[in-house]
């Protein structure tokens, strides 16, 4: 089977998280041929892969959201049919476009984004949208917002998409649209796997973003909801990592009959043999994460600085890549300003080679799915302190048939004092750490084995093809 996996902003450009998951996923299915369709932020990362691609990756296609249009030529006085105008009107207002009509324009009629955005008909449609929905918004703000939204999307929809037997998008958004496009071009099925709820994550970013024109904030949010609706609409199957995420997908319009939960899995045996650290010296806390705003490293630093005043015999090791160099610089500066000792930035590490020196792990994210770092910590018998995001609480305390007990402490996100108290409790009680660590180890071995996850995805492919043929 030739499988085209579609990813945005991760594999193979960054390490950890979804990228690590994808790399291991492909390697675990040597019987299949994979095509990687990677969406990057900008052309500067072209070819700069952080992974040696597995042998069963026979092609990688790179697409970038910024960097200019591929074609600025425009046919004079281009005219669109009534059907095309209706699709464009819905696209401009972030409603419910007829995507097949737009696909036909971009793929078969050879219409360029420049031709659409500079056409007289587009200007008239935009004016109509402005009068009907944005009468109190400056037209120039609306124009530049619409252009910023539609230019990268329309460029993506011109993609010479590689042929495959099935398209598997690891998110909705732009990746989900390319999966639907691939299904349209080659008349094959596609499926979606969400590690987090992409649209909700974009919504959180937009609400905090300084670059968004305030009057157009809701429009940007609607834009990403429109993309998720389009991706869900024709997908044969949509998987998530845990029950609450699946319920969110259904609330956002995905048909319940399409939804499946397939939990993450880790290579349990690689971590299970790591011995417990002896009770000597400082308590070593590990934060294994990408240094990026969504991981909220600053809250962790504030919490650790507060805890050090009450419990000085602790050290914090932050291990992971600098996904956002500016944010990483702010974190380094914060450590200096707080004058907190025993904070060590380790960079990217091989976790199995360093886990023996840690007593427990901490995760302070403001958004997560089902973090692999928590599962790996469990497999090594290390308890966790996490924020209550994604399914972290479910991982720490169990649910359903899982009655193992607590494998850590869960606190609200963005609350440094609560995080500080939880970290201190874990530091002061070694016996509790060992008990919780053993609970986590049993939980990981029972429910989160990599081989079980791969089997479930192979079964998902079989089900998708069976349903498609029906």
**Do 146 and 167 lie in a common domain?**
no
Domain containing residue 402: 268-448
324, 387, 279, 6: which is closest to 159 by C-alpha? 6
460 found inside a domain: no
Distances (CA, A) of 378 to 177, 288, 333, 356: 36, 13, 32, 13
Cα 46 to Cα 404: distance, rounded to the nearest angstrom = 46
10 found inside a domain: yes
Residue pair 37/200 in contact by the 8 Å Cβ criterion: no
Cα 379 to Cα 382: distance, rounded to the nearest angstrom = 7
207 found inside a domain: yes
Q: Which of 92, 122, 150 is the last residue of a domain?
A: 150
**DSSP, residue by residue, 404-464:** ----EEEE-TT-HHHHHHHHHHHHH-HHHHHHHHHHHHHHHHHH-BHHHHHHHHHHHHHHH
pLDDT category, 403, cuts 50, 70, 90?
Answer: confident
Cα 153 to Cα 122: distance, rounded to the nearest angstrom = 16
468 found inside a domain: no
**Do 146 and 238 lie in a common domain?**
no
453 found inside a domain: no
Between β-strands 283-288 and 360-363, what pairing exists: parallel, antiparallel or unpaired?
parallel
CATH of the domain at 50: 3.40.50.2000
Q: Tell me: pLDDT of 14 over 90.
A: no
pLDDT category, 178, cuts 50, 70, 90?
Answer: very high
Comparing 186 with 210, the larger pLDDT belongs to 186
**Do 177 and 298 lie in a common domain?**
no
- Name the percent of the chain lying above pLDDT 70: 98
**Do 252 and 274 lie in a common domain?**
no
**Do 256 and 286 lie in a common domain?**
no
Provide the mean pLDDT of the chain.
Answer: 94
| Type and span of the H or E element at 207 | helix 198-208
For the chain, the domain total comes to: 3
Q: What is the pLDDT of residues 35-81, one digit of tens each?
A: 999 999 889 999 999 999 999 999 999 999 986 555 666 666 688 99
**Do 19 and 119 lie in a common domain?**
no
Q: Tell me: pLDDT of 140 over 90.
A: yes
339 found inside a domain: yes
**Do 322 and 342 lie in a common domain?**
yes
Under DSSP, the state recorded for 197 is -
Comparing 286 with 78, the larger pLDDT belongs to 286
Please tell me the predicted confidence (pLDDT) of residue 400. Answer: 80
Please tell me the predicted confidence (pLDDT) of residue 281. Answer: 86
463 found inside a domain: no
């Amino acid at each position: 089977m030739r499988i085209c996996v579609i990813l945005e902003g991760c594999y193979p450009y960054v390490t950890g998280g979804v990228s690590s998951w994808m790399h291991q996923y492909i390697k675990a299915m040597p019987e299949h041929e994979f095509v990687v369709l990677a969406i990057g932020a900008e052309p500067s990362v072209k070819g700069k892969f952080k992974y040696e691609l597995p042998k069963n990756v026979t092609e990688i296609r790179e697409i970038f959201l910024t960097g200019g249009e591929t074609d600025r030529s425009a046919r004079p006085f281009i005219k669109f049919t009534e059907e095309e105008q209706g699709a464009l009107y819905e696209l401009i207002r972030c409603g419910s476009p007829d995507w097949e009509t737009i696909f036909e324009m971009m793929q078969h009629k050879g219409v360029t984004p420049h031709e659409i955005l500079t056409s007289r008909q587009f200007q008239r449609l935009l004016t109509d949208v402005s009068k009907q929905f944005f009468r109190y918004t400056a037209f120039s703000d609306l124009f530049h917002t619409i252009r910023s939204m539609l230019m990268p999307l329309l460029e993506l929809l011109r993609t010479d998409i590689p042929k495959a037997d099935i398209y598997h998008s690891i998110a909705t958004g732009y990746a989900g649209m390319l999966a639907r496009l691939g299904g349209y071009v080659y008349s094959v099925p596609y499926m979606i796997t969400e590690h987090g709820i992409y649209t909700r994550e974009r919504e959180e970013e937009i609400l905090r973003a300084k670059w968004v024109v305030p009057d157009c904030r809701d429009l940007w949010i609607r834009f990403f909801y429109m993309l998720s609706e389009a991706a869900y609409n024709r997908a044969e199957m949509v998987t998530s990592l845990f029950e609450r995420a699946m319920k969110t997908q259904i609330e956002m319009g995905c048909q319940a009959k399409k939804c499946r939960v397939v939990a993450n899995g880790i290579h349990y045996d690689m971590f299970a043999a790591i011995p417990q650290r002896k009770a000597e010296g400082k308590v070593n806390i590990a934060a294994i994460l990408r240094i990026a705003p969504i991981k909220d490293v600053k809250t962790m630093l504030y919490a650790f600085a507060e805890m050090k005043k009450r419990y000085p015999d602790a050290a914090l090791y932050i291990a992971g890549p600098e996904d956002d160099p500016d944010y990483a610089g702010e974190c380094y500066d914060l450590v200096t300003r707080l004058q907190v000792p025993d904070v060590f930035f380790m960079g990217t590490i091989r976790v199995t080679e360093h886990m023996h020196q840690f007593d427990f792990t901490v995760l302070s994210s403001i958004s997560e799915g089902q973090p692999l770092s928590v599962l790996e910590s469990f497999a090594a018998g290390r308890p966790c302190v996490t924020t209550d995001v994604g399914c972290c609480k479910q991982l720490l305390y169990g649910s359903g048939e899982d009655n193992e007990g607590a494998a850590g402490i869960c606190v609200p996100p963005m609350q440094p004092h609560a995080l500080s108290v939880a970290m201190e409790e874990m530091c002061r009680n070694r016996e509790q750490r060992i008990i919780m660590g053993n609970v986590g180890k049993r939980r990981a071995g029972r429910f989160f084995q990599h081989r079980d996850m791969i089997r479930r995805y192979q079964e998902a492919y079989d089900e998708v093809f069976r349903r498609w043929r029906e």
